[in-house]
Amino acid sequence: MIITILVSALICCLIMLFVWAWAKAIKNAGVVDIFWAFNFSIIAIVICLLADGYWERKLIICGMILVWSMRLGIYLLIRVGSHLQVEEGRYKRLREEWAPNPDRKFFFFFQSQALSNIYLAIPFFIIAFNKKNEISVLEYVGIAIWAISILGEAIADAQLKRFKGKAANKGKVCDAGLWNYSRHPNYFFESMIWVGYFVFALNAPYGWISILSPITIILLLFKVTGIPMTEEQAVSSKGDAYKEYQRTTSVFVPWFKKK
C-alpha cells in the first residue's frame, strides 16, 4: 500500500507543479480546482494497476472514483474555463493577501492541494487493498449512498446552471428545484458522496480510519472554502433577496421549506 500511496503522491505533485506554472503564466490560480478533481482519476488508475485487493472490489471503487472525479472535473473545467482571463474572487483575495510575491505562496498552496488528494483518498486505498473475496451488504450500502448522492449533486448542478442560463434570472437568487429547500444542495450531496466511500470502507481492516475523509470535507464546506465564502459573496451581490432566502431555506440539507 505504501508504494501505491507514494506513486500517487509523486504523480499528483508533479501534475500540480505544471498546473502552477500554467496558472502563473495566465495569472489565474483558479485552475487548481480543475486538476484537484482530475487528480483523483490519476489515483484511481494507480490503484487499479498496483493495489492487490479483491479484483471485483478494486474495479468497483476505481469506477466510482473515475465517475465522480471526471464529472466534477469536467464541470469545473467548463465553469473555470469559461472565464480564464478573470480570476475567481477567493483567489484574487489570496493574491492580494500574499503580495508582493504571491506566486511563491501559490506554489506551496498547489502542492498542498496535491497532498490533500492523497489524504482524502484514504478510503480508496483501504478499499482497494481489502482482500476479502466477497462484497458485503455494508459495502453495497456504501455504494448505494454514493450513487444516490452522485445523482443528487448532478441534479442540483443542472438546476443551478439552467436557472443562471435564463436572462430573466440575472441577479436573482436561484430557488429552483432542490435549491428551493437548501441553499447548498450540491455541497450536501458532495458530503454524502464521501460518507458513501466511508461506509464502503468499513468492511476492510482499519476501515474506520476512512471517517477522516468525510469529516474533513464537511469541515471544509462548513467552515473554510464552501458555505462561508459562497454566502458572503451572495449577500454582497444580492443583498436583502439573499437574506430572505437564508431565512426561508435550510443551510445544507434539502429537507423542507421554512415558513
Q: How does the average pLDDT of the chain come out, rounded?
A: 90
Q: Look up residue 181 and give its three cell numbers.
A: 429547500
Give pTM, 2 decimals: 0.88
Query: What is the rounded CA–CA span in Å between residue 161 and residue 155?
Result: 10
Q: What CA–CA distances, in Å, run from 134 to 54, 58, 77, 184, 223?
A: 8, 12, 37, 37, 39
pLDDT tier for residue 15 given thresholds of 50, 70 and 90: very high
Comparing 38 with 252, the larger pLDDT belongs to: 38
Residue ranges of the domains in the chain? 1-133, 136-259
List Cβ neighbours of 116 (8 Å cut-off, separation of 6 or more). Answer: 36
Lowest mean pLDDT among 37-51, 66-80, 93-107, 139-153: 93-107
| Structure confidence by residue, pLDDT tens digits, 230-257 | 788 778 777 888 888 878 888 778 776 6
Output the pLDDT for position 100.
84
CA atoms within 13 A of residue 125's CA, in its CB half-sphere: 20
Output the pLDDT for position 257.
66
List Cβ neighbours of 122 (8 Å cut-off, separation of 6 or more). Answer: 209, 210, 212, 213
56 burial level (CB within 10 Å; 0-12, 13-18, 19+)? exposed
Question: Is the four-CA dihedral 148, 152, 153, 157 of positive or negative sign?
Answer: positive
CA angle 19/36/156 to nearest 5° reads 130
Q: Look up residue 70 and give its three cell numbers.
A: 471526471
pLDDT at 103 over 80: yes
CA angle 226/111/31 to nearest 5° reads 55
User: What are phi and psi for residue 215, nearest 5 degrees?
Assistant: -60, -45
Output the pLDDT for position 258.
62
Query: What is the rounded CA–CA span in Å between residue 220 and residue 90?
Result: 14
pLDDT at 12 over 90: yes
| Structure confidence by residue, pLDDT tens digits, 184-212 | 899 999 999 999 999 999 999 999 999 99
β partners of residue 250? 182
pLDDT at 8 over 80: yes
Output the pLDDT for position 259.
56
Determine contact, residues 184/252, Cβ cutoff 8 Å.
yes
| Structure confidence by residue, pLDDT tens digits, 126-149 | 999 999 999 999 999 999 999 999
Through-space distance between the first and last CA atoms of the chain, rounded to whole angstroms = 52
Output the pLDDT for position 1.
85
